Amino acid sequence: MTKYIFVTGGVTSSLGKGIISASLAKLLQARGYRVTIQKFDPYINIDPGTLNPYEHGECYVTEDGAETDLDLGHYERFLNTPTSKANNITTGRIYQNVINKEREGAFLGKTVQVVPHITDEIKRNFRILGENGEYDIVITELGGTVGDIESLPYIEAVRQFRWETGSNNSLVIHLTLVPFLAAAGELKTKPTQHSVKMLLEYGIQPDILVCRTEHHLTNDIRKKIALFCNVNINAVIESIDAQSIYDVPLLMLKEQLDKTVLTKLKLPHKLEPDLENWKDFLGRLKNPTADVRIALVGKYVELPDAYKSITEAFIHAGAKQECKVRVEYIPSEQLTPENAVEKLKGMHGVLVAPGFGERGFEGKIQAIRHVRENNIPFFGICLGMQCAVVEFGRHVLGLENANSTEMNPDTPHPVIGMMEDQKTITHKGGTMRLGAYPCDIKKGTKAAAIYGKNHISERHRHRYEFNNDYLKQYEAAGLIPSGINPDNGLVEIVELKSHPFFVGSQFHPELKSTVANPHPLFINFVAASLAYARKK
């Protein structure tokens, strides 16, 4: 029978429930258990796809085309196993499912209420991944903090679920804060006590407390928390601020979080966790032999979480190359023909980031012109690739006012245009080209050398594509399509023949980079930037 772990948060948001969930899952996976993690978000949007990245960070896309919370990126990067649309559920989706059933007459005329109908739908979604026989343990992270109005149905659903499944089949880990008051010179446990008290009011006794802290918990503080929160002292887990999120699994191993969980779920401890590859990655991450400065040119750079998967992909690729990648965020709106050279001075590589809309578009064009003309390594992702196509059209092919129809529907040279099957769509949510699609790579190209194979699959999230009417012109001038979708002939990868590294991808390679398998495009971009740095 599948066992269930629920991770709740208290006192404040942003304590790191996603990292704790991913770290615990990593430890259990390293002991030989089949583990997955799901995230339940209390907001009413159907999915994060329509949210501004400033609101919620990046939108992470799964293999099956679900637009999900960025925490799913952590799950995949830690576990090296893909997630799916079943791994991220929002209140909006829960209510939509219930309302659809009500419209179909599924409730036989009953009054539809939060309890039992909404809580039943939440519990049904808790179980989906556990009932397919693929997992021994399902970890469910509940977004928000205990006490939030929107979180209440989830907490109630957990209470009911635990009562229905019986003892030893589920447990609750509550992540809380033990703040340090500088004026008093001590750690304070009262916020944790209040948070647990609130959970108890809702009928849930947490089994394990993970305490986020800036200072080590003394034995006396652990005893105090255990006494006032009704947990064993070995179930008070310290989660101290870490140098890197990738240190957290080892910190949790030291605190024996995985052992405590297995004991409470009455599961055998199996093997000691095999974390040799993880430790090897950390060793290379912390002991670089070189460093490079890479500019990330984008429109959401004030919030680094908007590009979370990209920055993590740089960490994975940097460790592979034993190189510290210093990502420097440059707002694309601030780049002009006059200042682009100055703003990008000292950079060993430039990545032009994905995004939507006109803001900052011309700044990205200026960045690409500078790196193309000066042989600086360039990597463009999605809109970044489209910008490279527009820049090349304007300044090499002489196509005056070439543009994407997203930015200018009346451009005389629509080198980037909306896909035919997107033109009739009026609904915004979940209607883009989403998820994994195949790509055939041309032999003898840089892309073929990077991937080492001719058939790949990558994840997408976009509405606009390279306009194949201009394909022969671009090829003749040296910007070649080195990756093509075999089903519809759409261009997936472009590269510049006469440049040390100038590659643009219509897909999002950062979504498939993990600790165990850094993405080859990022590895090679970092290597090219390193080679450029050594020449300087």
Q: What is the CATH number of the domain that holds 115?
A: 3.40.50.300
Shared-domain flag, residues 221 and 248: yes
- Tell me the pLDDT tens digit for each residue of 323-368: 999 999 998 888 888 888 888 899 999 999 988 877 878 888 999 9
DSSP structure string for 161-230: HHHHH-TTSEEEEEEEE--EETTTTEE--HHHHHHHHHHHHTT---SEEEEEESSPPPHHHHHHHHHHHT
- Is 489 annotated in some ligand binding site? no
Helices then strands, counting H and E runs in the chain, come out as 18, 23
Q: How far apart are CA 493 and CA 485, in angstroms?
A: 10
- Is 49 annotated in some ligand binding site? no
Residue 502 in 3-state DSSP? strand
Check if the beta carbon of residue 484 is closer than 8 Å to that of residue 88. no
Shared-domain flag, residues 421 and 522: yes
Average pLDDT, the chain: 91
Shared-domain flag, residues 467 and 367: yes
pTM: 0.92
Q: What are phi and psi of 416, to 5 degrees?
A: -120, 125
Peptide bond into 331 cis (omega under 30): no
The residues carrying an active-site annotation are 382, 508, 510
- Tell me the pLDDT tens digit for each residue of 380-430: 999 999 999 999 999 989 988 889 998 899 999 999 887 665 455 544 444
Confidence (pLDDT) at 306: 86
Shared-domain flag, residues 251 and 380: no
Give yes or no for residue 120 having a pLDDT over 80. yes
Tokens of residue 264, six digits:
């409470």
Tally the residues of the chain: 536
Which stretch of 51-55, 76-80, 122-126, 375-379 has the lowest confidence by average pLDDT?
51-55
Mean pLDDT, to the nearest integer, of 249-276?
Answer: 93
- Is 214 annotated in some ligand binding site? no
- Is 364 annotated in some ligand binding site? no
Confidence (pLDDT) at 211: 95
Check if the beta carbon of residue 387 is closer than 8 Å to that of residue 361. yes
Confidence (pLDDT) at 336: 84
Shared-domain flag, residues 243 and 378: no
- Is 242 annotated in some ligand binding site? yes
Shared-domain flag, residues 455 and 355: yes
Confidence (pLDDT) at 381: 95
CA neighbor of 51 nearest in space, from 90, 82, 94, 16: 90
Shared-domain flag, residues 36 and 106: yes
Query: At 315, is the pLDDT very low, low, confident or very high (cuts 50, 70, 90)?
Result: very high
Confidence (pLDDT) at 532: 94
- Tell me the pLDDT tens digit for each residue of 458-497: 999 888 899 999 999 999 999 999 999 998 899 999 999 8
Shared-domain flag, residues 390 and 478: yes
Shared-domain flag, residues 260 and 294: no
When divided into structural domains, the chain yields a total of 2
Shared-domain flag, residues 244 and 293: no
Q: How far apart are CA 533 and CA 347, in angstroms?
A: 8
Confidence (pLDDT) at 234: 94
Using the structure block, give the residue that is written with the tokens 């890479």: 294
- Is 484 annotated in some ligand binding site? no
Check if the beta carbon of residue 340 is closer than 8 Å to that of residue 381. no
Radius of gyration over alpha carbons of the chain, in Å? Answer: 25
Please give the residue range of the domain that contains residue 372: 288-535
- Is 167 annotated in some ligand binding site? no
Give yes or no for residue 159 having a pLDDT over 80. yes
- Tell me the pLDDT tens digit for each residue of 163-210: 999 889 999 999 999 999 888 888 999 999 999 999 999 999 999 999
Q: How far apart are CA 68 and CA 61, in angstroms?
A: 6
Shared-domain flag, residues 292 and 264: no
Domain edge (last residue) among 248, 279, 310: 279
Most confident region among 57-61, 207-211, 267-271 by mean pLDDT: 207-211
Mean pLDDT, to the nearest integer, of 217-238?
Answer: 95
Confidence (pLDDT) at 451: 95
- Is 104 annotated in some ligand binding site? no
Query: At 47, is the pLDDT very low, low, confident or very high (cuts 50, 70, 90)?
Result: confident
Shared-domain flag, residues 297 and 396: yes
CA neighbor of 356 nearest in space, from 59, 8, 16: 59
